[in-house]
């Protein structure tokens, strides 16, 4: 660290010991060098008019005379097709096409197409596709399409990075994209609870277990079940007694007072009503009951209804202490899967406690949140493609219904799509992205996305002249207004402005747009125009 300081000190000492005039020269030498360089730059700039070398000089061609250079279009003026239209006359102007929304519509006037031979028109109604939904529009007063962009040589295009591609046909779709969530069909989800207060006697199913319609998944020991069975037995016995009394009185109707017969008939009707009420009480609890118990012995009937609704196979698995007349089966309403369970044997439950949730995983809904501005394009029956965030393959469905209201907070429309899930690939609460297909076109006219350029008033592509490759022909790109349609990651559909087979600039086309705008803002090329 001390050596540099010592060296600096020695240099300073050496300088200070120089004679006065030499020391002044040494101190001012850097400033003299800088001013000399600036003088050289000023001299060269003044002699060249402060201009960047022209395209012809960069390409290594013979330098064009200063008086034969078009500074507006950056080509040799004697070969400039914009300054000398006789070199390449412009076609007849047809004006703005209202049906397709472009100037000089190549669909209505295919003679404008830059192709050899007969041009190929789109194989579908592009005007109808334009009207399907809101599309970017062109300003009818915009005149940039009347200009042409000319390059000095083919090498110029290569140096500018201008590549080309052929307008082609490709399947494309117009779609509304929305985020969505998969849920079980609410009509196929059952939340099961005990009808009565009691104690859980047995549990036969757990979460993820499959169930069949009417299958018993648990038993609840409820005292009210035993009471209802007792009421039914009492009603049956009383009804049989009063039936017997009524039949005996009727057999002796000639010697029995009419009032006694009337009272007996009324008593029988009362017992009949009590029987029906007791029977309905058990039906209301989910038990299946015979319509009549006429002539049934009370003891035999008591044995029959003791374990009413519990199959022998299940009864055989129960501990002896749980085999009571109070057992209430909990059954599933339809086939499905247990998706939630909050129950254990011995637990006290009532009608307010949710015990099981059963859902049918083969019937799912996809709930979409569609932007308010896209709601006008939707209707029931439209096909939908859904792709989950975790990579499940696309699932197909159709729009089932549209919500009549817009969500106040998100300003989105709720859309329901019915999905089939026979292979059980989808899961409840899955999130993903859906495309609601408005139009599917197998022969859409497309170009690569980078081919389309835009200004404040219009969208353009640059169509290469059909004679561009000829050695003695000007290297010209025609400016075409276009109407864009469907798009994906690589291609964009052009509903008007180009035809299949034409060649357009792709990468590097912004350089053509920059030259177009530059020439349109120029004050003239010195050619009297």
pLDDT, tens digit (0-9, with 9 covering 90-100), for 167-197: 999 999 999 999 999 999 999 999 999 999 9
Mean pLDDT in residue range 353-373: 94
Can you point out the beta strands (E) in 160-319? 164-166, 168-184, 189-192, 198-203, 210-211, 216-221
Mean pLDDT in residue range 361-375: 94
Q: Domain check: are 40 and 94 in the same one?
A: no
Mean pLDDT in residue range 506-526: 76
Interacting residues of 155 by C-beta distance below 8 A, sequence separation 6+:
59
Rounded to two decimals, what is the model's pTM? Answer: 0.68
Q: Report residue 36's pLDDT band, with 50, 70 and 90 as the boundaries.
A: low
Q: Domain check: are 455 and 486 in the same one?
A: yes
- Tokens 């049918």 belong to residue: 360
Interacting residues of 497 by C-beta distance below 8 A, sequence separation 6+:
100, 102, 105, 106, 461, 480, 481, 482, 483
pLDDT at 55: 46
Q: Domain check: are 139 and 229 in the same one?
A: no
Which segment of 94-103, 270-279, 286-295, 520-529 scores lowest on mean pLDDT?
520-529
> 276, 307, 325: which is the final residue of a domain?
325
Which segment of 19-33, 275-289, 342-356 scores lowest on mean pLDDT?
19-33
pLDDT at 290: 75
What CATH number corresponds to the domain at position 135?
2.40.420.20
Q: Report residue 4's pLDDT band, with 50, 70 and 90 as the boundaries.
A: very low
Q: Domain check: are 35 and 72 in the same one?
A: no
For 109-133, the pLDDT digits (tens) are 999 999 999 999 999 999 999 999 9
Look at the chain and report how many structural domains it folds into. 3
Stretch (H or E) spanning 23: helix 20-48
Percent of residues, the chain, with pLDDT higher than 70: 84
pLDDT at 515: 86
Q: Report residue 57's pLDDT band, with 50, 70 and 90 as the boundaries.
A: very low
Which segment of 62-66, 232-236, 263-267, 320-324 scores lowest on mean pLDDT?
62-66
Mean of all residue pLDDT scores within the chain = 85
Can you point out the beta strands (E) in 100-252? 102-103, 148-151, 164-166, 168-184, 189-192, 198-203, 210-211, 216-221
Structural domain range at position 505: 66-170+442-521
pLDDT at 523: 43
Residue 513 CA to residue 399 CA, distance in Å, equals: 43
Is beta strand 431-448 parallel, antiparallel or unpaired with respect to 356-359?
Answer: unpaired
Residue 77 CA to residue 525 CA, distance in Å, equals: 8
Q: Domain check: are 166 and 70 in the same one?
A: yes
- What is each CA distance from 133 to 174, 405, 436, 438, 509, in whole angstroms? 9, 22, 13, 9, 28
């Amino acid at each position: 660290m001390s050596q540099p300081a010592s060296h600096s000190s020695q240099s300073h000492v050496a300088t200070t010991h120089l004679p006065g005039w030499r020391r002044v020269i040494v101190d001012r030498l850097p400033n003299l060098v800088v001013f000399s360089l600036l003088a050289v730059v000023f001299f060269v700039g003044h002699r060249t008019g402060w201009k960047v070398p022209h395209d012809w000089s960069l390409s290594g061609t013979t330098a064009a005379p200063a008086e034969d250079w078009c500074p507006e279009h950056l080509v040799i003026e004697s070969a400039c097709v914009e300054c000398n239209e006789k070199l390449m006359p412009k076609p007849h102007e047809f004006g703005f096409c209202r049906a397709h929304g472009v100037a000089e519509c190549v669909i209505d006037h295919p003679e404008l197409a830059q192709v050899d031979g007969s041009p190929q028109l789109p194989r579908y109604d592009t005007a109808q596709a334009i009207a399907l939904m809101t599309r970017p529009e062109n300003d009818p007063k915009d005149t940039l399409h009347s200009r042409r962009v000319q390059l000095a040589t083919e090498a110029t295009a290569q140096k500018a990075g201008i590549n080309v591609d052929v307008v082609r046909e490709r399947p494309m779709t117009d779609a509304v994209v929305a985020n969505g969530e998969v849920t079980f069909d609410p009509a196929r989800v059952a939340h099961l609870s005990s009808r009565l207060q009691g104690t859980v006697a047995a549990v036969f199913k757990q979460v993820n277990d499959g169930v069949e319609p009417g299958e018993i998944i648990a038993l609840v020991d409820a005292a009210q079940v035993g009471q209802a069975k007792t009421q039914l037995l009492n009603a049956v016995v009383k009804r049989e007694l009063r039936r017997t009394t009524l039949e005996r009185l009727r057999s002796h109707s000639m010697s029995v007072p009419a009032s006694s017969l009337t009272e007996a008939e009324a008593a029988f009707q009362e017992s009949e009503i009590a029987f029906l009420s007791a029977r309905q009480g058990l039906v209301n609890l989910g038990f299946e009951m015979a319509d009549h118990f006429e002539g049934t012995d009370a003891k035999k009937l008591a044995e029959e209804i003791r374990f009413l609704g519990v199959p022998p196979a299940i009864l055989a698995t129960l501990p002896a202490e749980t085999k009571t007349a109070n057992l209430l089966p909990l059954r599933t309403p339809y086939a499905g899967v247990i998706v939630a369970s909050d129950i254990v044997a011995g637990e006290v439950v009532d009608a307010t406690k949710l015990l099981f949730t059963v859902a049918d995983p083969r019937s799912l809904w996809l709930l979409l949140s569609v932007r308010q501005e896209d709601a006008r394009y939707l209707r029931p029956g439209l096909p939908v493609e859904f792709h989950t965030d975790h990579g499940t393959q696309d699932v197909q469905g159709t729009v089932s219904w549209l919500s009549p209201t817009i969500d106040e907070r998100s300003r989105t429309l709720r859309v329901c799509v019915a999905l089939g899930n026979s292979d059980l690939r989808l899961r409840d609460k899955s999130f993903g992205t859906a495309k609601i297909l408005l139009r599917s076109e197998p022969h859409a006219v497309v170009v690569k996305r980078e081919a389309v350029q835009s200004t404040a008033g219009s969208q353009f592509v640059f169509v290469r002249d059909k004679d561009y490759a000829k050695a003695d022909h000007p290297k010209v790109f025609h400016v075409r207004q276009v109407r864009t349609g469907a798009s994906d990651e690589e291609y964009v559909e052009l509903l008007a402005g180009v035809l299949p087979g034409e060649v357009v600039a792709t990468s590097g086309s912004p350089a053509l747009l920059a030259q177009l705008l530059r020439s349109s803002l120029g004050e003239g090329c010195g050619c009297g125009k």
